[in-house]
A = this chain, B = another copy of it.
């Protein structure tokens, strides 16, 4: 049995602007100063577990992705069709080439601190996939977060694996607190592991309008008729997300399993969560992409996160500050207001700064 990692690499991550840009999105950036981009870290941690990585990305980033991960197969998405389109195309390709394979989908821009816990969870997910489940890895909540969907777990299905009762949308604070108190709810980090055939057969049954063109496109992909097949099948493909298209309906039939895991996971969704994954002592000494390490000074500014580019930065009396000095723009905000960075990016064109988005 072979295991293939499918890594959809899209999404601009605008709450991490200007570290993350349309032209240089989050997954291509080394946000934590470890010397590897988030995408490279994703592949690195899967390396011991997988036979091959397939990275699905848009044409704008295909060269950069191939340059960063030379060993991966880069699948250029002809146009965005949601996570179901991206993951479904890769899964259909793998099914075509290796009918017994197990596939797993992993976001390109998350951080996982405990790699051995991750590896153990993936191995359990593969075991559940071989037993016929669509398996998902559920993150044990560390707080009643309202930024994630939750997975409601049921009874034990296999060792270390529980059945999934349902997937629920991002809750309000009170609901999230109730979820976390029960111990039955886990964050949905978008990691799905299944036999390629199980995934495609489920999709065929639930959404034949998606599965049929994907399988037809996959059959033509490795031959001379790829371009024609793309034009024929992809353009008309409905936009869909895998959670809604497969995971939710299958869960209600008892077909989904969850592997609860504690592994220091972060989606690094904004500057507050980015700060959390950087050692407090190193927060003031991050380097912006293309920049050089600079001396910085914080006075009465505990926890301030500073990405410097070409000159020293001094922060006085702004605890939790965020200062990002890029070659072409400076952002100043605080970790408390991290969610608002998205509004700033949306307002850039009105301020005559649309070219910086």
Interface of A toward B, CB cutoff 8 Å? 18, 295-297, 299-300, 311-318, 321, 323, 325-334, 336-337, 340-341, 343-344, 347-348, 351-353, 356
Would B337 and A316 count as touching, CB distance under 8 A?
Answer: yes
A16 to B297, CA, bound (A): 16
Would A344 and B295 count as touching, CB distance under 8 A?
Answer: no
27 residue pairs of the A-B complex, CB under 8 angstroms, read: A18-B314, A295-B352, A295-B353, A296-B351, A297-B348, A297-B353, A299-B343, A300-B343, A311-B326, A311-B328, A311-B330, A313-B332, A314-B331, A314-B348, A314-B353, A315-B332, A315-B333, A316-B332, A316-B340, A316-B344, A317-B337, A318-B332, A318-B333, A321-B332, A325-B330, A330-B330, A332-B332
Among the listed B295, B340, B356, which residue makes an inter-chain contact with A317, where contact means beta carbons less than 8 Å apart? B340
Would A314 and B352 count as touching, CB distance under 8 A?
Answer: no
Copies assembled: 2
Chain B residues whose CB sits within 8 angstroms of the CB of A356 once the complex forms: 312
| Known contacts A297-B353, A347-B297, A352-B295; is-contact A314 B336 (Cβ 8 Å) | no
A8 to chain B, nearest CB (A): 28
A47 to B296, CA, bound (A): 44
Main SS at interface, chain A: mixed
Among the listed B312, B326, B331, which residue makes an inter-chain contact with A316, where contact means beta carbons less than 8 Å apart? B331
A296 to B341, CA, bound (A): 14
Among the listed B295, B297, B323, B344, which residue makes an inter-chain contact with A297, where contact means beta carbons less than 8 Å apart? B344
Among the listed B295, B317, B326, B333, which residue makes an inter-chain contact with A334, where contact means beta carbons less than 8 Å apart? B317
Among the listed B300, B314, B318, B347, which residue makes an inter-chain contact with A318, where contact means beta carbons less than 8 Å apart? B318
A123 to B289, CA, bound (A): 60
A356 to B296, CA, bound (A): 12
Chain B residues whose CB sits within 8 angstroms of the CB of A297 once the complex forms: 344, 347-348, 351, 353
